């Protein structure tokens, strides 16, 4: 395991060698340091902070200023992991707005990759970001910024037409220049098809064991969350101190032990 700062090229190499990639959320310097030291390849400053840090019901109220602030806090601690920061709701409604918002996350927040939610409607934006040398992590499946449109936090892609549309979106996002893809709350079989179809690393959350990597909200893993989702696992309950719990997650992802089939959906 290399100790130098990782790059997206390293992550692609991991996918091609069949090595599992681990990703955890962090919103501040202390947690980001622990996640980095645990050996996770990716740290995500997710807009889930709106729920687990700020106490909102959804991620929708999170502002770009808040994402820049939390990204800057996390960035200060990282020595090895690649830092992804979420573009929050309505900060990328047009390609032009996405460029401005991404520039802030990178210049002020220290992000190396920006994440955005959605498929076909985001293709032009992904291309525009790529043309300016801005790496993009796309996010399909349960896209929390669209929770009201989706009618709640529910598994996506179960109907055959929805599954085909998601596969098509994933391929189109890769062709548009996306560097990573997160799949959230989709049937494990669909996640496997998408992972096989793409050359870019695919990171799952509630998407079964076949993705190239796994992400969890660290607060779920550390037992801070009152109602953790079904696909999460409380590593602190089993391993105690945060550093040991985070390392156990990274080791289990690397060893193909987490997630198990029961952490996914049919």
Q: Annotated catalytic sites, by residue?
A: 184
Instruction: Give the separation between CA 245 and CA 119, rounded to whole angstroms.
Output: 34
Q: Please identify which residue in 36, 86, 179, 192 interacts with ligand KIV, judged by CB under 6 A.
A: 86
Task: Give yes or no for residue 109 binding ligand KIV (CB under 6 A).
Answer: no
Task: Give yes or no for residue 217 binding ligand KIV (CB under 6 A).
Answer: yes
Q: Which is nearer to ligand KIV, 24 or 245 (CB)?
A: 24
Show the site string, 158-187: x = touches ligand KIV by CB under 6 A, - = not: ------------------------x-x---
Cβ 110 vs Cβ 76: under 8 Å: yes
Instruction: Give the separation between CA 108 and CA 137, rounded to whole angstroms.
Output: 19
Q: How many residues are there in the chain?
A: 266
Task: Give yes or no for residue 46 binding ligand KIV (CB under 6 A).
Answer: yes
What's the closest the beta carbon of residue 117 comes to ligand KIV, in angstroms? Answer: 8
Instruction: Give the separation between CA 137 and CA 181, rounded to whole angstroms.
Output: 5
Size of the site for ligand KIV (CB under 6 A): 11
End-to-end CA distance of the chain: 34
Q: Please identify which residue in 67, 83, 185, 215 interacts with ligand KIV, judged by CB under 6 A.
A: 215
Which residue of this chain has its Cβ atom nearest to ligand KIV in the complex? Answer: 46
At 183, give phi and psi (nearest 5°). Answer: -115, 120
At 203, give phi and psi (nearest 5°). Answer: -110, 125
Question: Would you tell me which residues interact with ligand KIV (CB under 6 A)?
Answer: 25, 44, 46-48, 86, 182, 184, 205, 215, 217
């Amino acid at each position: 395991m290399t100790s130098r700062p990782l790059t997206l090229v390293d992550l692609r190499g991991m996918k091609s060698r069949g090595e599992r990639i681990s990703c955890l959320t962090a919103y501040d310097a202390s947690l980001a340091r622990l996640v980095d030291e645990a050996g996770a390849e990716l740290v995500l400053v997710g807009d889930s902070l709106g729920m687990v840090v700020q106490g909102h019901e959804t991620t929708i109220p999170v502002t770009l200023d808040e994402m820049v602030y939390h990204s800057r806090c996390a960035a200060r601690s990282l020595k090895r992991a690649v830092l992804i920061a979420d573009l929050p709701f309505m900060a990328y409604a047009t390609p032009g707005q996405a460029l401005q918002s991404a520039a802030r996350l990178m210049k002020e927040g220290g992000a190396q990759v920006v994440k955005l939610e959605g498929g076909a409607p985001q293709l032009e934006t992904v291309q525009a970001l790529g043309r300016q040398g801005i790496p993009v992590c796309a996010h399909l499946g349960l896209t929390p910024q669209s929770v009201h449109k989706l009618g709640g936090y529910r598994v996506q892609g179960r109907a055959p037409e929805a599954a085909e549309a998601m596969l098509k979106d994933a391929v189109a996002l890769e062709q548009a220049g996306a560097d990573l893809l997160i799949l959230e709350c989709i049937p494990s079989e669909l996640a496997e098809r998408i992972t096989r179809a793409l050359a870019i690393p695919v990171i799952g959350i509630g998407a079964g064991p076949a993705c190239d990597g796994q992400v969890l909200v660290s607060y779920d893993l550390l037992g801070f969350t009152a109602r953790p989702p079904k696909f999460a696992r409380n590593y602190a309950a089993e391993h105690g101190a945060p550093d040991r719990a985070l390392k156990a997650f990274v080791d289990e992802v690397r060893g193909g032990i987490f997630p198990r089939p029961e952490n996914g959906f049919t």
